[in-house]
Structure 1
Amino acid sequence: MAAWGTTVRFLALGAAWGTSFLFMRVAVQGLSPGQVVLSRLALGGLVLNLLLVLMRRPWPRQRKLWMHLAVTGIIGCVVPFLLFAWAAGRIPSGLSSVLNAATPLATAAVTLAATRQEKVGLRRILGLCVGALGILLVLSPWRFYAGGGVDLWGQLACLVAVLCFGVAFSYTRKYVSPYGADPIAVPATQMLLATAAMLVLAPFVALGEMRLTAPVAASIILLGVVGTGLAYVWNFRIIAEWVPLPPRPSRT
């Protein structure tokens, strides 16, 4: 039953994040990329912290955990969200979604190369190589230099965002999940810290005139409530349940 619940959350997360690219594509028609990111983070943080209060769940108390969540908030939210929002104005949302599908590949590569959490076997190395070849075929940089194809810089921005997700997932697995903190409290705190970081950046990256039409407003609400709020609850539950946890750190 537990495995079934994890599978359902995984599918829901994929659907929520997959449609997020369509919402971003619509949202950037009326807002700047920075305004889109600030709005989705604020809405997502509001939803998550409201859930935390209504369900009477405690916020994390460990200072080190808050520091780790600040890192994941910047690497896993602020930076990739800005990159994806910027790319939304340059490439089709469907292509962004396809490139985002490389997140498991990036996570595996980071986990194997940097954190050493798992053994490196020939099968996994071959899998990473095949995945990298698939990404190269999607990008098709030779068409860019030939004067055709989809904007290469937008695609590269998506890939950097995906790499950020990979780093954030691996970091979460190693430094956040071992605390065993509440699955709502963790993303709520992360989103709160990410919103604070974005507010600091807002005077520099969230400028420009806002044209808040009905489609733009609806896209921002769905992007924030579902794609950033509820999706991150599912995300942290999946990270905690998918494979055995590393040793638990001291609660200081």
Structure 2
Amino acid sequence: MFYEMDCAIVGVMTTPVAAPAPSSTASASTPTAPPASEPAPRRTSLDWRIRFAVLSLIWGFSFLLIKVGTHGFAPFQVTFGRLLFGTAVLAVALLVKRDRLPRGVRTWGHLTVAAFLLNALPFSLFAYAELTIPSALAGICNATSPLWGMALSMVALSEDRPTRRRVAGLGLGFIGVLTVLGAWQGFHGLDFGGTAMALLASLSYPIGWIYVRRTLAGTSNSHLSMMSGQLLVATVQLAVVTPLFTSMPTRIPVVPLLAVLALGALGTGLGLLLQYGLVAEVGPTTGQMVTYFIPVIATAAGAAVLGEALTWSMPVGALIVIAGAALSQSKARSRT
């Protein structure tokens, strides 16, 4: 559920970019393929700081919504519902703006891969992970995506060179992960399967972004068009997979259904639109700062709303992970 943005143009979940450079929980604004360029949207009457706060809350609470959704539906069903409602929101936005979906077999082929790596796979992994791990831990694992992305980008992208700051940030982030997992206690009480799936979901985002940057960076389609196309493909992917691995629920529980509806319409659909507007207005550097609030909000929401037990190592480790991610993406000040 990590949400990413390209350095110049908003992306997706997830997200922020790091490996592109990150910006997505979670996970929980959905990473999407970026267009080459397009005019910035008009400023809205609502101050960007308010929209920034709203986006942080939406994405921070997404992990809680996933947990609640899995109380009534299978993980694939949660993911399918999330994508379906998110796509519906973007479809309305397309109609309002009188935009259209991308064209071309090549573009749709690349969007199919991007949809799997940036939406279908990580969303499903987070849903399965939260069957056995707290939503707070899932949110913290999501925060490792910028670290994965920075490490991969230094290997896969020639323009991303390793620097002392990046190496130090990666090292600090790794220490934070070990702190969250309680390495000094031999990882006692940790569900390895669920944690591994959450970390794999976070790794999927930067892999997808590297693919997007190599294949779709020059598209002339609008950002909204590419977002909508990618989510549509991901929805179709889950529509095929879900019936194969799940059965129809015997009843439709109201609270889990509302959680999935909010997760898709707000966390995925509205979250993407808010993120794009923020980055277009205040720039990617400020816009991607939302990433660092997600694990904090996810941890607080899990403890306050779901009553999840917290050890001191989880919030402390989360702060170390965030500091490492911020350091790995920062730039040294130029000397004058």
TM-score band w.r.t. shorter chain: 0.7 to 0.9
Deviation of the 1:115 alpha carbon: 2.6
Report the 3-state secondary structure (helix = DSSP H, G, I; strand = E; otherwise coil) of the residue aligned with 2:170.
Answer: helix
In structure 2, the CA distance between the partners of 1:8 and 1:131, relative to structure 1 (3 Å rule), is farther
Higher relative contact order (CA 8 A, sep 6+): 1
Residues 1:227 and 2:267 aligned together: yes
- Does the 8 A contact of 2:94 with 2:225 survive in 1? yes
Report the 3-state secondary structure (helix = DSSP H, G, I; strand = E; otherwise coil) of the residue aligned with 2:221.
Answer: coil
Moved more, 47-56 or 134-143: 134-143
Gaps of at least 5 residues in structure 2 are 1-39, 286-336
- Does the 8 A contact of 2:156 with 2:210 survive in 1? no
In structure 2, the CA distance between the partners of 1:153 and 1:161, relative to structure 1 (3 Å rule), is same
TM-score normalised by L of structure 2: 0.64
Give the aligned CA root-mean-square deviation in angstroms. 2.8
- Does the 8 A contact of 1:59 with 1:189 survive in 2? yes
- Does the 8 A contact of 2:63 with 2:135 survive in 1? yes
Deviation of the 1:25 alpha carbon: 0.6
- Give the Cα separation in 1 of the matches to 2:180 and 2:124: 22
Residues 1:40 and 2:71 aligned together: no
TM-score normalised by L of structure 1: 0.83
Moved more, 42-51 or 218-227: 42-51
In structure 2, the CA distance between the partners of 1:152 and 1:10, relative to structure 1 (3 Å rule), is farther
Deviation of the 1:113 alpha carbon: 1.7
In structure 2, the CA distance between the partners of 1:175 and 1:242, relative to structure 1 (3 Å rule), is farther
Identity between Structure 1 and Structure 2 (%) = 31
Structure showing the higher helix proportion among its residues: 1
Counterpart position of 1:84 = 126
Number of residue pairs matched by the alignment: 240
Counterpart position of 1:25 = 67
Q: 2:229 aligns with which of 189, 192, 202?
A: 189
- Give the Cα separation in 1 of the matches to 2:57 and 2:71: 22
Structure 1 counterpart of 2:266, which letter?
V
- Does the 8 A contact of 1:48 with 1:188 survive in 2? yes
Structure 2 counterpart of 1:70, which letter?
T
> What are the equivalent positions in structure 2 for 1:18-167 lying under 5 Å apart?
18-141=60-183, 143=185, 148-167=188-207
Deviation of the 1:222 alpha carbon: 0.5
Report the 3-state secondary structure (helix = DSSP H, G, I; strand = E; otherwise coil) of the residue aligned with 1:178.
Answer: coil
Moved more, 22-31 or 95-104: 95-104
Deviation of the 1:65 alpha carbon: 2.4
Counterpart position of 1:246 = none
- Give the Cα separation in 2 of the matches to 1:210 and 1:172: 40
Structure 1 counterpart of 2:221, which letter?
A
